[in-house]
Amino acid sequence: MGYRFSDLTDACQDDWRAYIEHPFVRELGNGTLGEGAFRHYLQQDYLFLIHFARAYALAAFKSRTLADLRQAHEGLKAILDVELDLHIGYCRDWGISEEDLATLPEARATLAYTRYVLDTGQRGDLLDLHVALAPCLVGYGVIANWLNAQSFTVRGNANPYDAWIAMYESDEFQAAMNDELAWLDARLAEVTPRRFNELVEVFRDATRLEIDFWQMGLDRAS
């Protein structure tokens, strides 16, 4: 007993590294990622964000304390009032209109990942849901920090994807990631080994689905 978040990543190190250091991420970092791959990713990520907002609504429903309910409400508001507008603006910069976004067919990787998270939350409790969301919330902050530590990463105007890295390295995003890490560390400190193993399974599944999401971008898979 006495687990923490890093025990989850330690328990599925190969998958975690394959996600954080995915070729899509490396190509974002050195600026060589194909524009078509990035556009496909952006489009599917719009659908992803909508379902992610639903997952926060589910977190509200699953909350047993006022503090957890408020936290879920803040997450839902952040996506609906901030993230989605930013994303729509970002898509516009990349030549994707709101009309395009409204009529997008959902790719299988998006379907699989988002519905897995929602199902995990419905089947389990609030901790299951947070663990299913962790590769997304924590992972993107870890990826931005990892990219910044790599010598191949190109920053500034020379990299068309610089704004993407900047978004996830921002103090605001890193603070949200650290809040989530503190929440997870506090909850994981109390779980039994048996429960921890269940949570590792959820974390590994969600991490693999993030890998598939990157790969979908590279393959432009539908």
Ligand X SMILES: Cc1ncc(C[n+]2csc(CCO)c2C)c(N)n1
Going 124 to 212 to 29 to 164, the CA torsion angle's sign is: negative
Q: Which is nearer to ligand X, 79 or 200 (CB)?
A: 79
Site for ligand X in 190-209 (CB under 6 A): none
Candidates 24, 52, 164, 183; binder of ligand X (CB under 6 A) is: 52
Asked whether 153 and 29 are in contact (CB, 8 A), the reply is yes
Asked whether 62 and 129 are in contact (CB, 8 A), the reply is yes
Q: Could you tell me how many residues of this chain bind ligand X (CB under 6 A)? A: 13
CA 46 to chain centre: 12
Site string for ligand X, 63-102 (x = CB under 6 A): ------------x--xx---x-------------------
Least separation in angstroms between CB 45 and ligand X: 5
Least separation in angstroms between CB 20 and ligand X: 12
Tell me which H or E stretch contains 173. helix 171-188
Q: Which is nearer to ligand X, 83 or 191 (CB)?
A: 83
Candidates 45, 107, 132, 216; binder of ligand X (CB under 6 A) is: 45
- 210 is annotated as an active-site residue: yes
Q: Which is nearer to ligand X, 84 or 154 (CB)?
A: 84
d(CA 29, CA 214): 14
**Choices 11-19, 27-35, 41-49, 145-153 (CB under 6 A): range interacting with ligand X:** 41-49
- 136 is annotated as an active-site residue: yes
Site for ligand X in 128-147 (CB under 6 A): 136-137, 140
Asked whether 101 and 208 are in contact (CB, 8 A), the reply is no
d(CA 146, CA 144): 5
Residue type, 80: L
Residues lying near ligand X in the complex (CB under 6 A): 45, 48-49, 52, 75, 78-79, 83, 136-137, 140, 210, 213
Residues recognised as catalytic: 136, 210
